[in-house]
Amino acid sequence: MDVMDDTMRDQMDTLQTLYRQSQALSDCKTDLLAKRDMLDKKQHLYEEVVAERQRLNKEKRTLLDMLNKIQQDMDSITDIESNLHREQQDLLRQVETLQNDTYEPLHDNVNALRIKQGLPKLPSFQQELEAHMAHMLEQRRQTWQQEQSPSSSSSSRRRR
């Protein structure tokens, strides 16, 4: 019986070893499946993050291109502004020179001659300029009223 007991014990030990290793294999398989599932989820999340980063980089490039174009426009406007200011200053100097050095002395001479002839003085340049501006404003007002008149009459017809 000792031999049989030894054989049974060996078989029992083998079965216990088989059971423990089968249980360890099952636990390892469960752990492996869980980790594979987690790996798949992480891989999917990683791909989404990479795609989002690429989308954001594309949007960033688009916005940077827009900013560069805006900066180019601003640089152009600054150049135009600078040129117009310089031209304005040049014209202002020309107007002042023409008025002070040519017009005013000539105007004074003409008025002196007119007084000697018994004629009234000519209006000053400022008075003529103000009259011209008043005339221009009146023309603009009339044009504006004419432009407003057809639309107001058509809108009053619509209300009826």
Residue 142: pLDDT above 90?
yes
Q: Which of 87-96, 122-131, 147-156 has the highest mean pLDDT?
A: 87-96
DSSP string, 23-58: HHHHHHHHHHHHHHHHHHHHHHHHHHHHHHHHHHHH
Which pair of tokens denotes residue 107?
Answer: 């105007």
- Contact between 132 and 125 under an 8 Å Cβ cutoff? The reply is no
Give per-residue pLDDT as tens, 13-47: 999 999 999 999 999 999 999 999 999 999 999 99
For range 115-142, the mean pLDDT = 95
What is the per-residue pLDDT for 64? Answer: 98
Residues 16-42 as b/e (b if ≥16 CB within 10 A, e otherwise) read: eeeeeeeeeeeeeeeeeeeeeeeeeee
**pLDDT interval class at 160 (50, 70, 90):** very low
Give per-residue pLDDT as tens, 72-104: 999 999 999 999 999 999 999 999 999 999 999
